Amino acid sequence: MSGTYLGMPAFPKAAHEAVGNQTLRGNLRHATHTIRGKRAKAVSEVSDWAELREAGKRIKDHTLRHLDRYLVQLEESVTAAGGTVHWAADADEANRIVTELVKETGESEVVKVKSMATQEIGLNEALEAEGIRAYETDLAELIVQLGKDRPSHILVPAIHRNRGEIRDIFEREMSEWGRPAPEGLTDTPAELAEAARLHLREKFLRAKVGVSGANFMVAETGTLVVVESEGNGRMCLTLPETLISVVGIEKIVPTWRDLEVFLQTLPRSSTAERMNPYTSMWTGTTDSETADGPRTFHLVLLDNGRTDTLADEVGRQALRCIRCSACLNVCPVYERAGGHAYGSVYPGPIGAILSPQLRGTGSEIDASLPYASSLCGACYEVCPVAIDIPEVLVHLRERVVEGGPVTREGNKVVLKPAKGHAAERAAMRAARWAFSHPGALRTGQRLASRTRRLHPRTLPGPGSAWSGTRDLPAVPAEPFRDWWQRTQGGKGGAK
């Protein structure tokens, strides 16, 4: 199956192939532009957006800075409510725990709510290897699963497919997995959605085990929250006897009240709605008299690189992410390259900073991801928890080029500079020297200004590829510091 990320080419190569695909570019452009416009409108309805964004940022930052305390509190609350908490340091451990829990039920199939965490750990493949079939029930995830494909967007994973392609996948594949597609299926979205409804309903009604992630976990109460639109989430969270939720440790909020912030910012940022159609909240299990929902509830708390990310003081802000995907829809690079080029379940700007932190920058694709950006800043602008993605991108670029101390699997290690960045490294070193020697910088800048008429329009040698598609920035007639000295007379203390 093509669903693996192993051996992915680095971003520039993968993106190069994607931008040559006319259908893909058309599908992506249509989708990102549509949702971008809708989101701006939904956000403009809320006059206190800036304050909500600031509150969301602060809640998440505070939680991350005291994550040990909140994790223990959450464990106590969930346990007190009748749930069982498991801890998984990495993907293998999480997969092993879930597989064993499913086996204990004696079942050989599970229904799944769309979940980034279970995709990140490759749970479906791990279950398959143990003879357990995992059915994706979100429409887009179903399209991806039936198409033996990979998701290309956080919110709408089949955004790269158009209706004609989806119809063909349903006709060809549905019978392999259960109820076949209806005769004479057309490509109207309503008919395709109906085909999915019929196909999946038989699975929902017989399912004994559900697997989900969660958008939020409340430490104070042990409440888990899943936000969705179709009702497949409600089906998986309500009908099975056993529910297993795999959730990243960064998804905690301290108090019940904190949900008031994120239930306002998440829907508007992701689907551009005032509120998504369905939100389910559950706290452990209810007792038998008022039994409502699964009788057994397991929560698997997933690390898998999150604590390593937390150890990076600049990069840890990526853990604020609430997976709304607004940054994907405004990104000029994502729009052209598509989600697959990022070689990770987290595509787009957030993926470009999250994946190299969760997985480390050891592989070619992970070392290339911090460069998968034009640093235009649109992602930071739309982020509902104010993650400064450009800042982290630059920070990670420096790490790739320069190497230095990082934390991997809980251990401090010193990273070697990546190969193939010698010219950049030399430039960085020269810049550092110049900035720490003000006299030399001043002389250099004046020299550059006075010789500006002699400067070439393209770079020679290896730089020619870069300047072949760009104009070199013009050198000003006078360095800024000279201008400042001349017009302000050095007031304010430029020395």
**Contact between 282 and another protein (CB under 8 A)?**
yes
**Contact between 245 and another protein (CB under 8 A)?**
no
Contact stretch for another protein (CB under 8 A) within 119-127, 285-293, 338-346, 460-468: 285-293
Q: How far apart are the first and last CA of the chain?
A: 63
Q: Which of 6, 205, 414, 454 contacts another protein by CB under 8 A? A: 205
Among residues 176 and 289, whose Cβ is nearest to another protein?
Answer: 289
**Contact between 242 and another protein (CB under 8 A)?**
no
Among residues 249 and 337, whose Cβ is nearest to another protein?
Answer: 249
**Contact between 19 and another protein (CB under 8 A)?**
no
Contact stretch for another protein (CB under 8 A) within 99-107, 154-162, 351-359, 380-388: 154-162
Nearest residue to 444 (alpha-carbon basis) of 435, 454, 453: 435
Q: Which of 34, 443, 458, 488 contacts another protein by CB under 8 A? A: 34
**Contact between 35 and another protein (CB under 8 A)?**
yes
**Contact between 71 and another protein (CB under 8 A)?**
yes
Pairing of strands 411-415, 133-136: unpaired
Q: Which of 19, 281, 314, 475 contacts another protein by CB under 8 A? A: 281
**Contact between 158 and another protein (CB under 8 A)?**
yes
Buried b (16+ CB within 10 A) or exposed e, 150-175: bbbbbbbbbbbbbeebbbebbbebbe
**Contact between 47 and another protein (CB under 8 A)?**
yes
Token reading at 51: 């304050």
Angle at 390 between CA 482 and CA 90, to 5 degrees: 145
> What is the C-alpha separation between 111 and 105, in angstroms, rounded?
14
**Contact between 380 and another protein (CB under 8 A)?**
no
**Contact between 303 and another protein (CB under 8 A)?**
yes
**Contact between 410 and another protein (CB under 8 A)?**
yes
Q: What is the dihedral of CA 119, 122, 126, 131, to 10 degrees?
A: 40
Among residues 306 and 340, whose Cβ is nearest to another protein?
Answer: 306
**Contact between 147 and another protein (CB under 8 A)?**
no
The nearest distance, CB 373 to another protein, in angstroms, is 24
Token reading at 122: 């490759």
The nearest distance, CB 316 to another protein, in angstroms, is 8
**Contact between 46 and another protein (CB under 8 A)?**
yes
Angle at 19 between CA 12 and CA 394, to 5 degrees: 40
> What is the C-alpha separation between 283 and 227, in angstroms, rounded?
15
The nearest distance, CB 449 to another protein, in angstroms, is 42
Strand partners, 246: 300
Buried b (16+ CB within 10 A) or exposed e, 57-70: bebbbebbeebeeb
- Count how many residues are written for the chain: 495
Among residues 172 and 450, whose Cβ is nearest to another protein?
Answer: 172
Q: Which of 79, 84, 99, 238 contacts another protein by CB under 8 A? A: 238
Among residues 239 and 428, whose Cβ is nearest to another protein?
Answer: 239
Among residues 89 and 434, whose Cβ is nearest to another protein?
Answer: 89
Among residues 198 and 376, whose Cβ is nearest to another protein?
Answer: 198
**Contact between 464 and another protein (CB under 8 A)?**
no
Pairing of strands 223-228, 278-283: antiparallel
**Cβ atoms of residues 135 and 141 within 8 Å:** no
Contact stretch for another protein (CB under 8 A) within 79-87, 126-134, 339-347, 461-469: 79-87
**Contact between 354 and another protein (CB under 8 A)?**
no
Token reading at 420: 């193939």
**Contact between 193 and another protein (CB under 8 A)?**
yes
**Sequence letter at residue 87:** W
Among residues 192 and 387, whose Cβ is nearest to another protein?
Answer: 192
Q: Which of 133, 201, 395, 425 contacts another protein by CB under 8 A? A: 201
**Contact between 295 and another protein (CB under 8 A)?**
no
Contact stretch for another protein (CB under 8 A) within 99-107, 138-146, 421-429, 468-476: 138-146
Among residues 21 and 229, whose Cβ is nearest to another protein?
Answer: 229
Q: Which of 24, 52, 74, 386 contacts another protein by CB under 8 A? A: 52
Among residues 218 and 418, whose Cβ is nearest to another protein?
Answer: 218
